[in-house]
Structure 1
């Protein structure tokens, strides 16, 4: 969730013009993937899940840890994978290059044609013991990828990054003021991204931003239902019609302020729960997910015409997930493989 603070009127128009010119060099296909969470006891087999991706035209999957059955089922398909290094393995991989080489040898080398991203950790808190190990673990994974005896693709084919929660940003209203809260945590990460041309992966949830401040954020704005511009960024004149775009563009602003010369942002998670909490209704979730899939092909006000690579969360409801009830109600499909919201235009 990105915070929404009082605007700070700064003359940053030239910053964002430069950012747009650089971003235009990195146009990509409109590609919407889906996260495959597995914290449930009632899900189809990995082979059936991969078949479900194929039959629905879903060309990208996010997998949070190297599940071997899923990795094997993906072989021979055209589905590209965002594969996670589990949070609990970050410190060991950071402390020893040999651990990174073992991880890559076991989980990347046999499946290298399927892998697009390696995600070193998901939503690590800057205050946690793992935080100081994230950047080094990223570097060790990259070094292992490039080890000549592992015969992996070049760094241009597999990108190494980490996935952060959008609440690591502050001053996000207007988006052009966005910056990272904890530079001691983010600076080693953004330096790595800048050096290796990797995108920052950000879990972007207008749902949580809306429920945290429903007085100042309208439901239509969060659901992509606003019929016109809701506000104009005073620093650059860009008009915003939905909260998702504002959150994405605030990440671009934060990356530029952190010194990343060619910033790229991937929405590594986004979704809306259908049950379990305030505004978590079937209709809201259906509207959000359908509108999101259609919208991300268009780009944001800062990057018009540049598709936003986005991963919907999640393929299924996860009935064994801990936390609030909403956490168990983000699925796009029922366990019987029937779509919850009808056909989405992936």
Structure 2
């Protein structure tokens, strides 16, 4: 399998928080929110597409992120109730940005050809494009590709069913602590502000990959491990807001950044979040299992974040399987919830 996707997670949010020592009771979790899981394919000896879909259904996983429009995957999804995020891979951005007809053809081949048998929820036009990384060559193509894909969706009459966005990440933040002071790096504003304006104009959400693990290992002095794993008993105060975990803090830092960039009403979908089971600092089965279980409980409650209370946090766990063929740090190969033989790595309930 050709490698279409590499997560760039070298971002470290320095000095995210120093905990203030006030004990607070745990919030009661009520309600329900569907959990998604990303379907990564950068591994060998992985199950067939049909077996993967059966594994989703068996475990009650109702949403999936797919990183490239592979016909075998989309055909296996026909007739299921699984809702998906379908990515436009970064290498495709230039052609889609340059020619509206190419975007229309992309929608015809990868959406219309499978709809309504496949339940498309979002199209993620690009993933973690950043002017400061090796993905910077894609920066000027993201917005025009989004516009062309959106126009093709509108022309197909699917704009009320399928929402167009892009997936960004914490590396674009220049300030994240406290969350109320969250802001984008000045040198990415020219890139990100027009995207935010486009999303706001069309009432579309922003997809954000949120990884407390990488924030934690970037500043283990000031970020306690329990705060990253949802097990802290102390809270962090930010004016009148109280934070009990790093996930909420990162998410609300993005909301503050959106407000400063002209998108005060944008909603965020957490398009990736996970914890590695080996390969680096604090990467082990116990920590990863704790993170995934607590994250599911956190977002399934539907209580929102301190800054956006009451808003469900739609979240996609990364990822279904370990991906031993992935490049980068060793941790990148150990985010799977299941082994390639389809046995669960952790005891997790998705519903």
Same fold at TM > 0.5: yes
Query: What secondary structure does 2:56 align onto?
Result: helix
What does residue 275 of structure 2 align with? 272
2:209 aligned with 1:209:
no
Superposed, 1:15-164 pairs within 5 Å as 30-113=33-116, 114-127=119-132, 128-147=136-155, 151-153=156-158, 155-164=159-168
Pairwise CA RMSD: 1.5
Check whether the contact 1:83–1:119 (CA below 8 A) recurs between aligned residues.
yes
- Equivalent residues of 1:31, 1:307 under 8 A apart: no
Distance 2:338 2:275 in 1: 13
* Partners of 1:6 and 1:62 in 2: CA distance: 28
- Superposed, 1:220-231 pairs within 5 Å as 220-229=226-235, 231=236
Report Cα offsets for 1:294-334 as digits up to 9, x if no partner.
Answer: 00123211222322100000000001000111000000001
TM-score (norm 2): 0.88
Matched residue, 1:309: 314
Does residue 288 of the first structure (1) align with residue 291 of the second (2)? yes
Residue of structure 1 in register with 2:182 after alignment:
178
Q: Which residue pairs with 1:10 in the alignment? A: none
The reply to whether residue 257 of structure 1 matches residue 260 of structure 2 is: yes
C-alpha distance in 2, partners of 1:152/1:340? 42
Q: Which moved more, 1:256-265 or 1:171-180?
A: 256-265
Q: What is the total number of aligned residue pairs between the two structures?
A: 319
1:292 counterpart SS class: helix
Structure 1 residue corresponding to 2:204, chosen from 192, 198, 201: 198
| Deviation string, structure 1 residues 50-109 (Cα, Å, up to 9, x no partner) | 110011010100000001111111111110000000000001100001110111000010
Match for residue 173 of structure 2? 169
Residue in structure 1 matched with residue 338 of structure 2 by the alignment:
333
User: Residue 121 of structure 2 aligns to a residue in which SS?
Assistant: strand
Pairwise CA distance, 1:228? 3.2
Against the structure 1 CA distance between its residues 2 and 268, is the aligned structure 2 distance closer, same or farther, given a 3 Å change threshold?
farther
- What is the distance in 2 between the residues matched to 1:281 and 1:5? 24
Q: For the structure 1 residues 253 and 261, does the alpha-carbon distance in structure 2 shift closer, same or farther, using more than 3 Å as the test?
A: closer
Partners of 2:157 and 2:68 lie apart in 1 by 19
> In the alignment, which residue of structure 1 is the partner of 2:21?
none
| Cα distance in 1, alignment partners of residues 203 and 160 from structure 2 | 8
- The structural deviation recorded for 1:191 is 0.9
The one of 324, 330, 342 equivalent to 1:319 is 324
Q: Contact 1:175–1:247 (CA<8 Å) still a contact in 2?
A: yes
CA gap of 1:283–1:29, structure 2 versus 1, over 3 A, is: closer
TM-score (norm. length: structure 1): 0.89
Which residue number corresponds to residue 27 of structure 2? Answer: none
The residue number in structure 1 matching 2:193 is 187
- 1:344 shift after superposition: 2.2
Mapped to 1, the partners of 2:178 and 2:315 lie a distance apart of 22
Mapped partners of 1:87, 1:96: distance in 2: 16
What is the CA deviation profile of residues 268-311 of structure 1, one whole-angstrom value per residue up to 9, with x for unaligned ones?
A: 10000000111101100000000000001232112223221000
